[in-house]
Amino acid sequence: MSYLVMFVSSAILSLILTPHVIKLAYKLNAIDVPKDSRRVHKRPIPRMGGLAVFISFCIVSIFSLKLDLTLVGLLLSSLIIVFMGMVDDIKTLRPVSKLIIQLFASILLILFGIKIKSLSIPFMGVDKYINLGFFSVPLTIFWVVGMTNAFNLIDGLDGLASGIGFISSITLFIISILTSRYLSSVLTIILAGSCLGFLYYNFNPAKVFLGDTGSQFIGFILASISIISAIKYYTAFSILASVLAFGVPIYDTLSAIIRRKLNNRPIMEADRGHLHHRLLDKGFSHKNVVIIIYLISMVLGIISIFTIVLPSSISVFLFISAATLLVFWKVLNKNYRDQLYNK
């Protein structure tokens, strides 16, 4: 089955499934009611739409790939994340409960052999890497749980998380093709199609939200695929490429942690200080904010691709430059103090 067929199949399947998931969300009362200032929508919207993304991803993956231990482990651990998301979309779970389940799903991944075993060493040649040994377990858990929550946090506007999920998937697909990683290239192109099909119903004005079901699944599966891609290919698929590919969610999450810490608020507590909220407060329209963040994500994705095809010294320079630009953009913003001390 060609990549184009996999992409189109998953997109069409997601497109067909989403209306049925919307009906299911209404039956289960998985409805997002705008009851605080953080929410931008003005009317109740069904959530749990990510179930369509998950089902289409699973079906096309099973038909496209051999059902080996890696794929079984990926789908089983993802199922745990999706089930937790569904429960949270119906009746809100405590942050600690969600964290425990995320840890369990991450450990399951590791038991199936999906973990960060080594890290490449920039400037030291293609065969130089650090064998992590015992530290591969906590680093894998940190990466997977962190990315799962990062995509959950960025899911604040119509089409934002699903669109970034699509862009990140295409970025990792291109990188996987360049590094001859067949499994990850198949998984990412299928995920891209699933996100795109859902985006038809999710873009502003949204008929359905991803919910925790979808945002956490997309973050979890992208983090997992990036690990699969890196196994036995340390230098070509460096950690720098993955960090840049997921640049917007990572940046927004780190900003949220710093902001809440400075305000003496719990890190897991929601607020209205995210990147998309800041852009809305500057007067940009809902659609324009989403498009702006799409463009930022695309630029970071392109840079991450360059880190693969260029020499390691230039790759590290590009990574540092991108990170520096993000920091300076934050610092030079005239509302920087208000963003940090947003009450």
Q: What is the pLDDT of residues 150-171, one digit of tens each?
A: 888 888 788 888 999 999 999 9
Number of domains in the chain: 1
CA dist 118 and 196 (Å) reads: 33
Residue 337 pLDDT class (50, 70, 90 cuts):
very low
Binding-site annotation: residue ranges: 152, 212
CA dist 134 and 198 (Å) reads: 39
Min mean pLDDT across 50-54, 118-122, 218-222 is at 118-122
Residue 128 pLDDT class (50, 70, 90 cuts):
low
Structural domain span for residue 326: 3-340
Question: Given this model, what pLDDT does residue 336 score?
Answer: 45
Q: Is the peptide bond before 19 cis (omega within 30 degrees of 0)?
A: no
Highest average pLDDT, of 1-5, 59-63, 151-155, 309-313, comes from: 59-63
CA dist 325 and 244 (Å) reads: 13
Task: Round the CA-based radius of gyration of the chain to a whole number and report it.
Answer: 19
Q: Which uninterrupted H or E stretch holds 47?
A: none
Q: Which uninterrupted H or E stretch holds 222?
A: helix 211-230
Highest average pLDDT, of 83-92, 151-160, 264-273, comes from: 83-92
Each residue's pLDDT tens digit, 8-60: 999 999 999 999 999 999 999 999 877 755 556 567 899 899 999 999 999 99
Min mean pLDDT across 27-41, 77-91, 92-106 is at 27-41
Instruction: Kindly tell me if the per-residue pLDDT of 285 is higher than 80.
Output: no
Residue 329 pLDDT class (50, 70, 90 cuts):
low
Q: For the whole prediction, is pTM greater than 0.75?
A: yes
Tell me what the pLDDT averaged over the chain comes to. 82
In one-letter notation, the amino acid at residue 78 is S
Instruction: Kindly tell me if the per-residue pLDDT of 310 is higher than 90.
Output: no
- The arithmetic mean of pLDDT across residues 100-110, rounded, is 96
DSSP 78-141: HHHHHHHHHHHHHSPPPHHHHHHHHHHHHHHHHHTT-S--EEE-TTS-TT-EEE-GGGHHHHHH
Question: Given this model, what pLDDT does residue 341 score?
Answer: 43
Relative to beta strand 31-32, strand 45-46 is antiparallel
Binding-site annotation: residue ranges for Mg(2+): 152, 212
